[in-house]
Structures are given as C-alpha cells and as structure tokens.
Amino acid sequence: AQSVTQPDIHITVSEGASLELRCNYSYGATPYLFWYVQSPGQGLQLLLKYFSGDTLVQGIKGFEAEFKRSQSSFNLRKPSVHWSDAAEYFCAVSFFGNEKLTFGTGTRLTIIP
C-alpha cells in the first residue's frame, strides 16, 4: 500500500532563514506528489505538484520541491521564510490508476522573529 512519511513533526525556523521539509513515499509505481499547506482551522491549499518531467517544481508563495526517485523523496524548500508561512504542511501521494490521495502526518512550522 502507498504511504507517505514526514519525519519532522515540528520545525522552528527564524524569519528570513531557509526551510526544507522532508517527505518520503513508498510504493513501486511512478508517484504523483503534492504539497499542501493548512492554516489553523482552515482547509488545505495546494502549494505545488509533481506528475512528470522536470524534477524541480515551482509552486506558489515562493516554494519549490525536488523529486528524487533514487531516494523516494519530494522535499519542500523555501529560500527565505516569512512569518505568514507558519502553518501545517502536508505531503501527499497518489499513483496512476489509484484515485486515493494519501497524506503524510504533517509537519508543523513555527517561525520565530
């Protein structure tokens, strides 16, 4: 069965610092990968997605992610975080022929001044 691992439950970074959130998936087929962000009490907003092609994907709000098949990873990065980036971040995966989107357990991002 497909699964997603986000090894970091909580990350704290200083405003202006760079950010990397980790995501690993498991399954044999080619994955379709997503990063979502959720502010408290809100729905999920799609930051970016990878289906095929260029393994470096640009998203909204200055985020990017890189698909590395050899490491089964899809890490999210931002060169300089803003206080408004504080939220919960979810990595998700699905596969061709499988409609089900499986979410990781999430990483809570805290920004300090």
Least CB distance from residue 70 to other proteins, whole Å? Answer: 22
Question: Which CB, 15 or 64, lies closer to other proteins?
Answer: 64
Residue of 70, 28, 18, 73 whose CA lies nearest to 50: 73
Does the CA dihedral 44-94-89-57 come out positive or negative?
negative
Q: Which is nearer to other proteins, 19 or 101 (CB)?
A: 101
CB of 44 to other proteins, least distance (A): 4
50 versus 81: smaller Cβ distance to other proteins:
50
**Full 3-state SS string of 52-72:** CCCCEEECHHHCEEEEEHHHC
CB of 80 to other proteins, least distance (A): 26
Give the nearer residue to other proteins in terms of CB position, either 18 or 105.
Answer: 105
CB of residue 16 to other proteins, shortest distance in Å: 28
d(CA 35, CA 31): 13
Q: Which residues contact 41 (CB under 8 A, 6 or more apart)?
A: none
Q: Which residues bind other proteins (CB under 8 A)?
A: 32, 34, 36, 41-46, 49, 51, 90, 94-96, 99-101, 103-106
